[in-house]
């Protein structure tokens, strides 16, 4: 350990814990303990901040992330478990010249990877010339045979890739892994940048940091060019996600919203005559390009993994015919296997005629005798693992040996293992990473501590060549152990600042795109999104309706203290018909409904407000807590009031703030339909002349219309007044007529509402229903009539589904 | 030998599927030195809205068929006239088993015939410690690669019982092996796992087998079935040889080939997805009728 010189600081303790380890490069200090120039001004400013100020700033950053709903999905028993975003608040700072040097090396590497890909799915000369072992490629589950011989549309296989890089003890950079299948993290980099912008909002450092936006707009343009190479035939582009149970689904929704691209799941797409089409509320629309965030093996059950439930049958066919461009091409995952790095240095010389500018982590494929012996003799300094593993070196599995010892179950000696399975194994140098400052909040003044890091660098193919994100996304280890192994335990992420010595111009120069170019409207609503919005509306309303009924029950229970009261019994029977057990003061069925609503919202996260999303999460939490605490009677009634108010808050939030596009209409349609159905059911039961006394008042109460009733009729309630108010009054927003009118208005605004001047199939069912209620007299609104109306509403829902939602 | 082969597969679905897309691997094709297809016809009912015939990576004939509307039943009918040649007698020019890997390294190729595709675990055939151990126990010291294939195939035939009730189409080989029961698919998968386990590249062959009625009884129409057996790579000189563990013999003139793959998944006669929630039923009838040369 060498100690650092003391620096001027308002906080003399800022570096007290910052001990450098010899043999480990540090981002902040060079080998002589001098602070690197690129950090000086930042550290100077930072060191003037008081501990309280630092805490307050970090909290601002965290608050941003919480408000934005940034989260990480964890694989666990609960598929929807999420955890807070682990931001390390101190950025990693790199000078723009150093960044350019890195990107120059990675440009070469990106070109090399493209050529390897083209050869592996084309002539196969790397194998036949002996530069890549045939069995290594043949063994990889990611070398996809259906892609062999298929020319990618647009001429390239790779369009959006990433590299995980680290810094060696000698200060140079090296590559730990290539991410060529469907790299994640670009969206998280954006969010990290937003958060650090809150933490360090001053002109310095902000004006000196290169922006990320230019990278994304360049990639967005490239996707449009890929989707619609011809101006005459514009096609849509989209992001293909595995769906909400994927650990980076949040990022997919975020980036879809940021780029204005459709977020599609496998079932949103159908393939007809070699052409991929999106199911939208306006019918099938041709798709020209997909940014794939789903593992290729799961993208098409017909040609890849047949057990996949999240793919699109025929997607490979759409690629084969050349109608669909894929970023990145199916099969690009083969480049990620660890063993590939054993051969890339040589392949670079063969294919490019030059050595790799940026080396990769030294790797030996143990299929060769010499390599196997070398790995065995140096096992102490090696990570030995499956050759076709595609995760990064620090994501260690159970069948991995590090430093000469097995991590998982014992498998005999390493020498035996290498002899037995050598052709399935690689040895990789156990590398040492550089350290970078992270904040250690010790509860008192806090201090900076060195933590190991790797940086993820993103590159996108544009008409002008590879375009690199100026900045990135760093992983920060959780201890000062600088071996790559430490990266897997917990850890956090940090923003990467690429900085200039001088303030940068506010806007980068606008890139000119040659030729005609039109952006296809992203306003098309996929049928599945509409379906989820429709059911979100229904579930929210269904929850509110149930909460009102449960409240009505417990209010009466508190007043009468008699479970055998005929009205209570009637309510119990009525609610039992909807699966709600009133023996539970907080019926579990309510939780189920809220969870269903939240699941729908989750699946349209790219179209749903983040405030709405967190409010739904909050509602679920509150309701779940109530399961434990709520007592029957007044307490339950109070709890239901809390829920009703929270739901009203969410509904308000959604309806006040949602842009009136097609999605909003489906949400509102669902709400109105559910409310109409609940009202018809309520009236069928409680306006029955055979119903116990007081039932009518109950209906008015649940219909939230007590005050209106008093005002309008000024008499005790009777069947006529109640049916008039709750069914026939066109101005009562909970009345049947009002709600059916709502349905009609929305249906008139749906696509294809009219065909040749005639109303759509959906309208042809709604219009007679509306007219029938509008013309009815109260005495005609019998129990049978209400039940018939419920039947009509169910038919409307079915029709809506079959016309627009699939 | 000349054969008329006919095959009918019927599917019926509980719920009409929204859309259907299948890849069929049912058409036999010419294989030099093995068989010549004189005529063949594959018909699909109801008539598909899309059909494209092609070849897959392993050069098997594929028919991609699709319907954009709901269908509740599907009928596939194949008729073919095929000449099957007498295979040349096999002389054991294969290397000793422990030198086979060396020969494998001499084949720097990923062509469809290259053995490298068939040495690792594949989607339906995981390598299994139990099966590999069993395979080693079948072998004598110094056995040749070909000798090893035969020894393993005959041992499995001896130790496993043919039993259509014990397994289904998705049974993993390890389970079939543990039960020592199964149908031709299980026999083939277990043998493939065994051969790969001891370092012999092995693949799956789907096709038809001429069957013989019990003595004194007439041939029953439609009583045959689709069949599966194994091919193994036994060195550069002999290349691929085919053995049928279900019937304990090398594949001869009774065998008609449809396709080659790493396992069943690569050559499944009907692959595909229907967008339907319900189950489906399927039935199959196969006839392999030998033709007198004069009558042809």
Domains and CATH numbers, chain B: 2-85+269-291 (2.60.40.2250), 97-267 (3.10.620.30)
Chain B residue with CA closest to A138: the answer is: B117
Q: Facing residues of A238 across strands?
A: A262, A290
Residue A77 has what pLDDT? 43
Residue A200 has what pLDDT? 95
Chain B residues close to A148, C-beta within 8 Å: 57
Residue A755 has what pLDDT? 82
A145–B120: do the CB atoms touch at under 8 Å? no
Q: Where would I find the H helices in A561-608?
A: 566-576, 588-603
Q: Where would I find the H helices in A121-156?
A: 125-128, 134-139
Chain B interface test: which of A138, A277, A388 (most B C-beta within 10 Å): A138
Residues ≥6 apart with Cβ < 8 Å to A429: A361, A362, A363, A381, A382, A383
d(CA A540, CA A654): 11
Would you state the structure tokens that stand for residue A799, as one six-digit string? 């029709």
pLDDT class for A76, splitting at 50, 70, 90? very low
Q: Between A481 and A474, whose confidence is greater?
A: A474
Q: Could you tell me the residue ranges of all domains in chain A?
A: 1-11+20-211+353-361+431-502, 220-327, 362-429, 526-658, 659-806
The reply to whether B168 touches chain A by the CB within 8 Å rule is no
Residue A260 has what pLDDT? 86
Distances (CA, A) of A721 to A548, A567, A717, A725, A779: 21, 20, 6, 6, 11
Average pLDDT of span A18-32: 88
| pTM of structure | 0.88
Please state, rounded to an integer, the average pLDDT across all residues of chain A.
Answer: 89
pLDDT class for A328, splitting at 50, 70, 90? very high
A303–B23: do the CB atoms touch at under 8 Å? yes
Average pLDDT of span A758-776: 95
Residue A233 has what pLDDT? 77
Dmax (CA) for chain B in angstroms is 61
d(CA B108, CA A240): 36
Q: Which CATH code, of 3.30.1490.100, 3.60.20.10, 3.40.50.11290, 3.30.360.10, is assigned to A220-327? A: 3.40.50.11290
A302–B21: do the CB atoms touch at under 8 Å? yes
Chain B residue with CA closest to A305: the answer is: B123
Query: With contact defined as beta carbons under 8 Å apart, do A347 and A370 qualify?
Result: no
Query: With contact defined as beta carbons under 8 Å apart, do B253 and B87 qualify?
Result: yes
Could you report the per-residue pLDDT of B220-232, keeping only the tens digit for each? 666 677 899 999 9
The closest alpha carbon to A191, from A301, A277, A68, belongs to: A68
The reply to whether A377 touches chain B by the CB within 8 Å rule is no
Percent of chain A at pLDDT > 70 equals 92
Would you state the structure tokens that stand for residue A720, as one six-digit string? 């006529």
Q: How crowded is residue B222: how many other Cβ atoms within 10 Å of its Cβ? A: 13
The closest alpha carbon to A308, from A242, A241, A240, A390, belongs to: A242
Average pLDDT of span A151-165: 96
Residue A397 has what pLDDT? 64
The reply to whether B66 touches chain A by the CB within 8 Å rule is yes
Chain A interface test: which of B17, B54, B106, B108 (most A C-beta within 10 Å): B108
Please identify which residue in the block is written with the tokens 């290594």. A136
The closest alpha carbon to A768, from A747, A783, A798, A782, belongs to: A747
Query: With contact defined as beta carbons under 8 Å apart, do A384 and A414 qualify?
Result: yes
The reply to whether B169 touches chain A by the CB within 8 Å rule is no
Chain B residues close to A272, C-beta within 8 Å: 50, 66, 68
The reply to whether A266 touches chain B by the CB within 8 Å rule is no
Residue A517 has what pLDDT? 47
d(CA A494, CA A454): 10
Query: With contact defined as beta carbons under 8 Å apart, do B235 and B100 qualify?
Result: yes
**Overall residue count recorded for chain A in this entry:** 806
At B50, give phi and psi (nearest 5°).
Answer: -135, 140
B61-67 and B226-233 as β-strands: parallel, antiparallel, unpaired? unpaired
Closest chain A C-alpha to B171 CA, distance in angstroms: 14
A145–B273: do the CB atoms touch at under 8 Å? no
B119–A129: do the CB atoms touch at under 8 Å? no
Average pLDDT of span A346-371: 95
A306–B265: do the CB atoms touch at under 8 Å? yes
Residue A288 has what pLDDT? 95
Query: With contact defined as beta carbons under 8 Å apart, do A298 and A121 qualify?
Result: no
pLDDT class for A1, splitting at 50, 70, 90? very low
d(CA A503, CA A558): 69
Chain A interface test: which of B273, B275, B276 (most A C-beta within 10 Å): B273
DSSP A345-390: HHHHHHHHSS--SS-B--EEETTSHHHHHHHHHTGGGEEEEETT--
Average pLDDT of span A528-555: 94
Lowest mean pLDDT segment, chosen from A89-103, A595-609, B119-133: A595-609
Residue B82 has what pLDDT? 97
pLDDT class for A108, splitting at 50, 70, 90? very high
Could you report the per-residue pLDDT of A393-446, keeping only the tens digit for each? 777 666 677 777 776 655 678 888 888 888 899 999 988 899 999 998 877 788
Residue B137 has what pLDDT? 96
Would you state the structure tokens that stand for residue A275, as one six-digit string? 């052409």
The reply to whether B272 touches chain A by the CB within 8 Å rule is yes
pLDDT class for A737, splitting at 50, 70, 90? very high
Name the strand (E) or helix (H) holding A558.
helix A527-560
Distances (CA, A) of A532 to A213, A254, A540: 31, 18, 12
Residues ≥6 apart with Cβ < 8 Å to B184: B162, B225, B227, B228, B229, B244, B246
Query: With contact defined as beta carbons under 8 Å apart, do A448 and A473 qualify?
Result: no
Average pLDDT of span A118-136: 96
Whether residue A685 is predicted with pLDDT greater than 90 in this model: the reply is yes
CA R_g for chain B: 20
Whether residue A73 is predicted with pLDDT greater than 60 in this model: the reply is no
d(CA A792, CA A611): 35
B110–A313: do the CB atoms touch at under 8 Å? no
The closest alpha carbon to A167, from A18, A316, A26, belongs to: A26
Lowest mean pLDDT segment, chosen from A135-144, A178-187, A223-232, A462-471: A223-232
Across the interface, of B56, B105, B273, the residue whose CB is closest to A301 is: B273
Lowest mean pLDDT segment, chosen from B74-78, B90-94, B181-185, B209-213: B209-213
Query: With contact defined as beta carbons under 8 Å apart, do A246 and A71 qualify?
Result: no
Query: With contact defined as beta carbons under 8 Å apart, do B40 and B79 qualify?
Result: yes
Would you state the structure tokens that stand for residue A615, as one six-digit string? 């409010």
Query: With contact defined as beta carbons under 8 Å apart, do A227 and A236 qualify?
Result: yes
Number of A/B CB contacts below 8 angstroms equals 67
d(CA B248, CA B150): 9
Whether residue A518 is predicted with pLDDT greater than 60 in this model: the reply is no
Would you state the structure tokens that stand for residue A701, as one six-digit string? 């109460």
Residue A126 has what pLDDT? 97
CA distance from start to end of chain A: 65
Average pLDDT of span A301-308: 94
Whether residue A707 is predicted with pLDDT greater than 60 in this model: the reply is yes
Residue B278 has what pLDDT? 55
Percent of chain A at pLDDT > 90 equals 67
Would you state the structure tokens that stand for residue A265, as one six-digit string? 């799941």
Closest chain B C-alpha to A399 CA, distance in angstroms: 16
B109–A127: do the CB atoms touch at under 8 Å? yes
Percent of chain B at pLDDT > 70 equals 94
Could you report the per-residue pLDDT of B256-290, keeping only the tens digit for each? 999 999 999 999 999 985 544 556 677 888 999 99
The closest alpha carbon to A558, from A586, A577, A585, belongs to: A585
DSSP 8-state code for residue B88:
P
The reply to whether B117 touches chain A by the CB within 8 Å rule is yes
Query: With contact defined as beta carbons under 8 Å apart, do B214 and B292 qualify?
Result: no
A139–B56: do the CB atoms touch at under 8 Å? no
In what side-by-side order are the strands of the sheet with B61-67?
A: B50-55, B61-67, B20-24, B270-274
Residue A515 has what pLDDT? 47
Here the ipTM equals: 0.94
pLDDT class for A7, splitting at 50, 70, 90? very low
**Percentages of chain B per state (helix, strand, coil), in multiples of 5:** 20, 40, 40
d(CA A483, CA B81): 66
pLDDT class for A228, splitting at 50, 70, 90? confident
Query: With contact defined as beta carbons under 8 Å apart, do A594 and A622 qualify?
Result: no
pLDDT class for A531, splitting at 50, 70, 90? very high
Closest chain A C-alpha to B253 CA, distance in angstroms: 31
Q: Facing residues of A280 across strands?
A: A283, A526
Query: With contact defined as beta carbons under 8 Å apart, do A569 and A637 qualify?
Result: no
At A233, give phi and psi (nearest 5°).
Answer: -120, 70
Closest chain B C-alpha to A145 CA, distance in angstroms: 6
The C-alpha torsion from A261 through A265 and A271 to A276, rounded to 10°, is 10
CA atoms within 13 A on the CB side of B147: 15
Residues ≥6 apart with Cβ < 8 Å to A548: A640, A644, A701, A702, A704
- Where b means 16+ CB within 10 Å and e means fewer, A456-479 reads bbbbbbbeeebbbbbbbbbbbbbe
d(CA B66, CA A50): 69
Residue A83 has what pLDDT? 64
pLDDT class for A469, splitting at 50, 70, 90? very high
Q: Which CATH code, of 1.20.120, 1.10.357, 1.10.10, 3.40.50, is assigned to A526-658? A: 1.20.120
């Amino acid at each position: 350990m060498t100690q650092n010189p003391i620096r001027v600081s308002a906080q003399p303790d800022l570096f007290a814990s910052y001990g450098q380890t010899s043999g480990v490069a540090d981002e902040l200090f060079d080998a002589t303990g001098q602070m690197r120039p690129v950090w000086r001004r930042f550290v100077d400013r930072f060191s003037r901040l008081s501990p309280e100020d630092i805490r307050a700033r970090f909290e601002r950053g965290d608050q941003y992330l919480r408000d934005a709903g940034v989260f990480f999905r964890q694989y666990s028993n609960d598929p929807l478990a999420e955890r807070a975003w682990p931001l390390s608040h101190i950025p990693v700072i790199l000078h723009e010249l150093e960044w350019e040097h890195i990107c120059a090396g990675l440009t070469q590497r990106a070109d090399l990877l493209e050529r390897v890909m083209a050869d592996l799915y084309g002539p196969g000369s790397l194998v036949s010339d002996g530069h890549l072992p045939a069995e290594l490629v043949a063994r990889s589950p990611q070398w996809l045979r259906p892609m062999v011989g298929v020319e990618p549309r647009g001429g390239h296989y790779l369009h959006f890739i990433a590299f995980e890089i680290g810094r060696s003890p000698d200060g140079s950079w090296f590559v730990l892994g290539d991410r060529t299948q469907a790299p994640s993290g670009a969206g998280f980099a954006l969010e990290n940048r937003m958060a650090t912008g809150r933490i360090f909002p001053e002109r310095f450092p902000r004006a000196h940091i290169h922006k990320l936006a230019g990278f994304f707009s360049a990639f967005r343009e490239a996707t449009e060019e890929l989707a619609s190479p011809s101006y005459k035939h514009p096609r849509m582009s989209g992001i293909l996600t595995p769906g909400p149970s994927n650990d980076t689904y949040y990022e997919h929704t975020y980036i879809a919203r940021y780029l204005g691209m459709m977020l599609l799941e496998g079932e949103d797409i159908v393939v007809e005559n070699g052409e991929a089409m999106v199911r939208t509320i306006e019918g099938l629309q041709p798709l020209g390009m997909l940014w794939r965030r789903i593992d290729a093996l799961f993208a098409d059950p017909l040609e890849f993994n047949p057990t996949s439930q999240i793919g699109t049958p025929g997607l490979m066919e759409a690629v084969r015919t050349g109608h669909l461009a894929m970023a990145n091409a199916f099969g690009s995952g083969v480049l990620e296997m660890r063993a590939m790095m054993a051969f890339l240095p040589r392949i670079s010389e063969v294919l490019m005629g030059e050595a790799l500018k940026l080396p990769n982590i030294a790797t030996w494929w143990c299929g060769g005798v010499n390599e196997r012996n070398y790995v065995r003799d140096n096992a102490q300094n090696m990570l030995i693992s499956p050759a076709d593993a595609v995760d990064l070196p620090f994501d260690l599995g159970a069948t991995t040996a590090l430093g000469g010892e097995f991590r998982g179950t014992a498998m005999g000696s390493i020498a035996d293992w290498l002899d037995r399975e050598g052709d399935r194994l690689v040895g990789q140098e156990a590398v040492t990473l550089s350290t970078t400052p992270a904040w250690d909040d010790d509860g008192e003044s806090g201090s900076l501590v060195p933590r190991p890091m790797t940086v993820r660098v993103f590159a996108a193919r544009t008409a002008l060549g590879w375009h690199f994100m100026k900045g990135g996304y760093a992983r920060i280890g959780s201890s000062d152990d600088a071996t790559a192994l430490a990266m897997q335990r917990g850890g956090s992420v940090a923003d990467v600042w690429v900085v200039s010595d001088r303030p940068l111009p506010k806007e980068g120069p606008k890139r000119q795109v040659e030729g005609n170019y039109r952006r296809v409207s992203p306003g098309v609503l996929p049928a599945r999104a509409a379906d989820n919005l429709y059911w979100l509306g229904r579930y929210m309303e269904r929850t509110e309706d149930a909460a009102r009924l449960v409240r009505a029950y417990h209010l009466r229970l508190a007043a009468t203290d008699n479970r055998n009261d005929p009205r209570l019994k009637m309510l119990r029977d009525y609610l039992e018909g909807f699966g709600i057990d009133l023996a539970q003061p907080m019926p579990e069925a309510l939780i189920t409904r809220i969870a269903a609503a939240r699941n729908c919202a989750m699946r349209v996260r790219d179209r749903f407000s983040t405030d709405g999303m967190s409010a739904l999460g909050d509602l679920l939490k509150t309701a779940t807590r109530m399961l434990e605490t709520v007592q029957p009677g007044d307490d339950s009634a109070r709890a239901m009031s809390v829920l009703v108010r929270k739901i009203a808050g969410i509904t308000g939030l959604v309806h006040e703030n949602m842009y009136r596009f097609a999605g909003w209409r489906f949400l509102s349609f669902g709400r109105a339909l559910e409310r109409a159905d609940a009202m018809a059911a309520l009236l069928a039961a409680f306006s029955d002349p055979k119903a116990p006394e007081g039932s009518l008042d109950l209906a008015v109460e649940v219909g939230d219309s007590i005050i209106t009733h008093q005002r309008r009729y000024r008499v005790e309630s009777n069947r006529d007044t109640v049916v008039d108010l709750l069914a026939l009054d066109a101005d009562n927003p909970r009345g049947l007529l009002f709600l059916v009118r709502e349905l009609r208005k929305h249906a008139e605004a749906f696509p294809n509402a009219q065909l040749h001047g005639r109303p759509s199939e959906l309208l042809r069912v709604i219009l007679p229903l509306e007219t029938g209620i509008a013309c009815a007299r109260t005495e005609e609104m019998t129990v049978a009539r209400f039940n018939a109306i419920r039947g009509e509403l169910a038919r409307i829902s079915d029709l809506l589904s079959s016309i627009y939602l699939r | 030998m000349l054969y008329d082969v006919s095959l009918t597969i019927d599917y019926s679905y509980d719920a009409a599927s929204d859309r259907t897309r299948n890849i069929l691997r049912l058409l036999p094709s010419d294989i030099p030195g093995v068989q010549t297809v004189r005529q063949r016809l594959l018909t699909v009912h109801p008539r598909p809205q899309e059909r494209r015939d092609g070849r897959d990576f392993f050069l098997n004939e594929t028919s991609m068929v699709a319907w954009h509307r709901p269908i509740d039943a599907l009928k596939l009918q194949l008729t073919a006239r095929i000449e099957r040649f007498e295979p040349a007698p096999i002389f054991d020019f294969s290397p000793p088993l422990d030198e086979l890997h060396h020969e494998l390294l001499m084949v720097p190729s990923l062509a469809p015939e290259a053995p490298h595709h068939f040495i690792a675990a594949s989607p339906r055939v995981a390598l299994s410690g139990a099966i590999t151990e069993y395979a080693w126990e079948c072998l004598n010291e110094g056995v040749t690669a070909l000798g090893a294939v035969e020894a393993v195939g005959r041992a499995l035939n001896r130790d496993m019982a043919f039993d259509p009730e014990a397994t289904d189409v998705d049974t993993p080989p390890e389970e079939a092996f543990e039960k020592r029961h199964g149908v031709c698919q299980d026999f083939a998968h277990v043998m493939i796992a065994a051969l790969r386990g001891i370092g012999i590249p092995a693949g799956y062959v789907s096709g038809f087998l001429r069957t013989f009625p019990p003595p004194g009884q007439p041939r029953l129409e439609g009583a045959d079935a689709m069949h599966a057996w194994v091919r193994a790579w036994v060195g550069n000189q002999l290349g691929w040889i085919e053995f049928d563990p279900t019937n304990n013999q090398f594949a001869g003139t009774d065998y008609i080939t449809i396709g080659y793959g790493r396992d069943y998944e690569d050559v499944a006669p009907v692959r595909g997805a229907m967008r339907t929630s319900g189950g489906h039923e399927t039935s199959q009838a196969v006839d392999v009728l030998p033709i007198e040369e004069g009558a042809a």
